[in-house]
A = this chain, B = another copy of it.
Amino acid sequence: MGFEAPRGMRDFLPEDMRIRNWIFDTWRTCAELSSFDQYDACVVESQELFVRKAGEEVIDQIYAFKDKSERELALRPEMTPSLGRLINSQGKALSLPAKWFGIFQCFRYERMVLGRKREHYQWNLDIVGQADVTAEAEVLRTAILALQRFGITSDIVKIKIGSRKLLSELLEKLKFDLSHFMDACLVLDKRGKVEDAVLKEMLVAKGVANTEIDTLFRVLEIKDLLDAEVILGHDSIALKEIKKLFQLMEMSGYGNFLVFDVAVIRGLAYYTGIVFEGFDVKGRHRAIFGGGRYDNLLASLGGDSQPCVGMGFGDVVIYELMKDEGLIKNAGKQVDVVIAYMDSSGEGVAVKAACECRKSNISVNLSLEPQKPKKIFSQADKFGASFVYLIGQEEAKSESGSLKNLKTGEQVIVNLAQLVEFIKKVN
């Protein structure tokens, strides 16, 4: 038996975990600063929760299995359907708008290309019950709050803003048959990854007429909201919404993060309005986060109809990007004090000292056997300790030890009873 994780699955050794904790803690902090409530559901869901009519890739890539009672289960490929299930389960009891967040492991059985993994974690933010684009703005503000805490500026990442509603209005105006709209969306989502010629073939295969394909690609040439306004006039609802979103983000001081992109679609079938996608300006990576409005999902899952906006922000791409940009914090181990003893006579004082410190929120690496000073200090260095409390034979007799401040080099004999107070004063 090898020591590797199963293909596509990730291990987190302590040095990786410290970075993951930094990312997850930042996500949670930013969500809480924006008053989102955390929730969770099990990674195992019923397969039927993920069944949708549209031919999404996600559905083909599900880890599905049966339990011993032949229940058809799945490891969730994304969180939104589970969110919908939970929201629906609350019915009228839920006070709206509900702002919910979580950090969720999701699985996709993909071909293993370029080290792409089969599981990742995803920070999800969702707002249920707010039809205004103030909801989109709130989600984007919170995502940007996290970007900024990661040290990422609008020179490094920008957010493409599109709108399925706007695209649909444009196509309708230009006589595109809207019965092919969803096919078009799912095909266009591959734009940039596959050649336009290939996309056209895919559209033909879906029964889209060549003249319509031309219309579609003509619309994709639209570069800004003014171009769209020329076609749609001033009364377009989709245009008003997207303009208001840009305005709100400008007010928030985040206007420089946003760019309009008529061709942003996102690959999930359930989006109905504004869609967005964070990307690195240098184009080295896949999308950093993505989301949009999905006003029909709750009803399609059997609940009451509610306007919803959501975002998913994965842990893999942001990590790669921060690595590229030299933004990964030096995440060495950090402990306040190393407590050690040179022979067994010091063990009792060491143990008591460790317990007292920990009770007072001072973190302690306690030696589990007698050790030589050289090893103790090299450990203290490795653990990033601020202090070493070392109990020798002489000190043990008087329930005391030698406390060395590793920053100043200062060394004093400190009694067990005074140790906590002493460390708290200096630290």
Contact = CB atoms under 8 A, between A and B. Distances in A.
A33 B251 contact: no
Interface residues of A, number: 93
B45 A88 contact: no
Nearest to A333: B37
Interface stretch (A4-12, A182-190, A284-292): A4-12
Given A6-B44, A132-B369, A135-B368, A109 B17 contact: no
A67 interface: yes
Contacts of A256: none
A10 B71 CA distance: 16
A63 interface: yes
Nearest to A355: B252
Interface in A252-311: 252-254, 301-303
A348 B42 contact: no
A109 B67 contact: yes
A6 B42 contact: yes
Contact of A251 (B90, B248, B352, B383): B352
A65 B68 CA distance: 10
A17 B37 contact: yes
A363 B253 contact: no
A49 interface: yes
B369 A251 contact: no
A12 B41 contact: yes
Interface string A83-124: 001101110000101001010010101000000000100000
A218 to B, nearest CB: 36
B14 A38 contact: yes
Given A252-B351, A302-B3, A37 B9 contact: no
A264 B369 CA distance: 27
**This chain: copies in complex:** 2
A301 B71 contact: no
Of the listed residues A1, A32, A69, A102, the one surrounded by the most CB atoms of chain B closer than 10 A to its CB is A1
B12 A39 contact: yes
A375 to B, nearest CB: 11
Given A6-B71, A14-B100, A363 B39 contact: no
A358 B42 contact: no
A395 B313 CA distance: 37
A35 interface: yes
A363 B132 contact: no
A75 B42 contact: no
A46 interface: yes
B351 A251 contact: yes
Of the listed residues A30, A73, A148, the one surrounded by the most CB atoms of chain B closer than 10 A to its CB is A73
A78 interface: no
Given A6-B42, A348-B251, A368 B97 contact: yes
A148 B351 CA distance: 17
A197 interface: no
A68 B60 CA distance: 11
B32 A363 contact: yes
A335 interface: yes
12 contacts: A1-B48, A5-B45, A11-B40, A13-B86, A14-B37, A17-B38, A33-B358, A33-B363, A44-B63, A127-B368, A130-B368, A252-B354
The 7 A-B residue pairs with the shortest CB-CB distance, nearest first, are A65-B65, A3-B89, A14-B37, A9-B42, A35-B365, A134-B368, A12-B40
